[in-house]
Amino acid sequence: MSIDIDHQNPSDVLKLKTPAVTIAGSDVSFDDTMSTRSSRSSVPSEMTGPPAADDKTEDSEETKVSETSNRILDVILEYSLHKFDSTEELHSAGRPKFLAVVSRFVKARQKVVMCLPAFPFKSANKVEKVLGTLPDKAEELALARLNSICVTIGQFYEPGAELTVISDGLVYNDLLGISDQETWRYGSALRAMAERKAFSHLSFSRLQDLVAVKGLPNDLNELTYVANATNFRRTLFNKYGRDGDLDIDHEIATNPDTLGTYKGYCRFLKSDLQHIFGPAKSSAKYRKDVKYLAKQMLIRGYAFAGAVKARFPNYLRLSIHQSTGEHKISISLLNTKSGFTTPWHCSVVLMADGEWLSGLTVDFKADRLLELVEEDGRPSYFREVLRQRPYLMENAKPRIVIQQEPQAHRPRIRSS
């Protein structure tokens, strides 16, 4: 759901800072150098001797910083989003910029801090795409994956790493038929899940952390959050909105990242809203409305990106959206072979060989080789049933049955 369009000013992207290099002052002045050239036989040159010990130490330190920074960036890129054949080429294009950000942390021996706008709320399409309104096993797998990035970095870089998840739910929920209350409950359950699973390298931020609204209580609860949701949105758009100078049609036509995000929004909106706004509309009218909503999301996304940049100016920026690789690192939240890489748009299934797959809930429900598993009294994920596999080839994919069989005979499995 998140949009990471913060590259409209290339000179300010990620606020890159070139590591400071101190050049030791020379003992030879300009005049001294000129006189040395005219009397080389009497004045020995101080520039031809072996490098000083301090120079060697400085070179060694710079090499170590470079090696560590490259290693950290390699770890992050292992979790990147690979939806196009050109992904590796795109990573190479953006590498110098991201490496400069990482190097700044390493040179100062500071924790590598990253931020990721994501985890807004469950899809509005509860009929086909997701199991419910609250986080389930799909979110757990995604959080575990993000936490593991930081764990891996900490294994060789002592200051470690931390990733802040910035919920963008309130930025878009009113456009998609999701209530403020549902947005709060999803975010609260997500935080509780991270704490329960000991994902200690993750922290969370909401919209109220990005904008200043007067009169807020110190600790927001569900009631005060819902009561102020409109205030959060209004403050965001008033302070960071670009109504006066933003031509979204021009941005879509000229900016590859914006175009890619726009196409992605159109795809998921078409499926997300079909059971909310679609039935009463003609196909042509529905497609037109979807495009309108996608543009509104882009406009709001620009404002949100401005707020994130102001609040987290020195963080390494991650994104859930495929991009050109020049301005952001695109991350896949689920280690899956399918195109469903965001947990709030799909369900997950545990195969008999231990592999997790992601896909539409409606397809998994229709597959008689799968059974639904509940956790904490709620549907959480699907699991392949071993006893039904003998007649299948060893490497055959799960068979999807077009018409769903009655499920009454199959007891639901509860996981402790």
Radius of gyration of the chain (CA): 26
What letters, b where the CB count within 10 A reaches 16 and e where it falls short, cover 307-329?
bbbeebeebbbbbbbbbbbbbbb
Which single residue is written with the structure tokens 């499926």? 271
Mean pLDDT score of the chain = 82
d(CA 308, CA 104): 20
3-state secondary structure (DSSP) of residue 293: helix
pLDDT tens string 229-253: 999 999 999 999 987 789 999 999 9
pLDDT of residue 49: 58
Say how far apart CA 363 and CA 223 lie, in whole Å: 37
- Sign, CA torsion 115/116/119/124: positive
d(CA 274, CA 263): 17
> What pTM value is reported for the model?
0.78
Best mean pLDDT range from 2-16, 351-365, 386-400: 351-365
How many Å separate Cα 405 from the centre of its chain?
37
- For 18-36, the pLDDT digits (tens) are 333 333 333 333 233 333 3
Give me the pLDDT at residue 30, please.
29
The CB-side HSE value for 120 (13 A sphere, CA atoms) comes to: 24
Q: In what order do the strands lie in the sheet with 316-319?
A: 202-205, 161-166, 112-117, 316-319, 329-330
Are 168 and 298 spatial neighbours (Cβ–Cβ below 8 Å)? no
